[in-house]
Amino acid sequence: MAVPSLELPARWEPVAPGSYWAVPARVPPDRVPPDRTLPTRPVPSLAVSTNLYGSGTPGIPEPPRAGPGFATPGEPVPVWRDWRWWLEWLGVVVFALVLAFGVRTYVAQLFYIPSGSMLPTLHVGDRIAVDKLSYHLHDIRRGDVVVFRRPPLEQSAYPDLVKRVVGLPGDTIASVGGQVTIDGRPLSEHWLPQPEPPTLPSPVPYAFSLGHPYTVPAGHYFVMGDNRTNSEDSRYFGPIPTGLIVGKMAFVAWPLDDSGWLVMLGATAALLVLAMAVVALGGSGTARHGRAASLRRPPVPGTP
């Protein structure tokens, strides 16, 4: 019988206790004699002085062991790895939600402008980004556009309002001939449209109506809308306490202005970097698992 080519893929065949030989795999089974006398030759790599698979007789290899931790070629990936992949992504999603909630609660939030009391600075339908951290770092300044919770005397149903800070704690504010004065000096309001609309007292029977000079209490701020002739502000519901102020307007988020575009581009770039980092970490984990699994598989005789 002709000896098949030794370059063909081979399989393990036991020919004696503790001894295995490489038999060409392409030999038809019906041509293998019952006594397994098919010409064979030892695998060259077995001619070593150490055992390839662990304990046993030195120099004589043992067959691959089966059991937990050993996989064979073509074996499906264990189910726990699929669950681990899902758990990793679930952790990423939960972290993103917690981060978004934390940002919205403590860092920044978007607000919708429903009325024209801040025209021409803010228009109906604008969405503004409000910074909630800045007033933890510095005091409220005159001219800041702030969002605050609805004060008790406000009659509208809006839960939040947006106005501009005009009077600070301790200021004596008044309306003289349609001009706002602070401590008797005219206030330069460059944020108002030109020509400046008159700032008139409100008809409410309270001291803060600006029918007479009014001193802003400590811990309170006198706010007004830029559209002075069509704005219910502190002239109607009084000065607002610090505890009601949500934060300072950072920029108009929609429609985007110049500063809004810069912030949105920066946020988009940061999100892309974060997504790439997540993908890179996930890919490295998959490669690491795959390498570990491949290292635990025993070598298959006859394969490169």
CA nearest neighbour of 171 among 122, 200, 213: 213
Q: Which fold has domain 111-257?
A: Umud Fragment, subunit A (2.10.109)
Q: Average pLDDT for residues 128-139, to the nearest whole number?
A: 92
Residue 163 annotated as catalytic: yes
CA nearest neighbour of 227 among 111, 120, 115, 126: 120
Q: CB–CB of 244/149 below 8 Å?
A: yes
- In the set 19, 45, 115, 117, the catalytic residue is 117
Q: What percent of the chain has pLDDT over 70?
A: 55
pLDDT band at 229 (very low <50, low <70, confident <90, very high): very high
- Residue of 185 and 88 predicted with greater confidence: 185
- In the set 49, 55, 163, 175, the catalytic residue is 163
Helix (H) or strand (E) holding 175: strand 172-176
- Residue of 81 and 151 predicted with greater confidence: 151
Interatomic CA distance for residues 214 and 63, integer angstroms: 97
- Residue of 271 and 170 predicted with greater confidence: 170
pLDDT band at 298 (very low <50, low <70, confident <90, very high): very low
**Domain regions of the chain by residue span:** 10-51, 111-257
In this prediction, residue 156 carries a pLDDT of 87
Whether residue 253 is predicted with pLDDT greater than 50 in this model: the reply is yes
Interatomic CA distance for residues 89 and 62, integer angstroms: 42
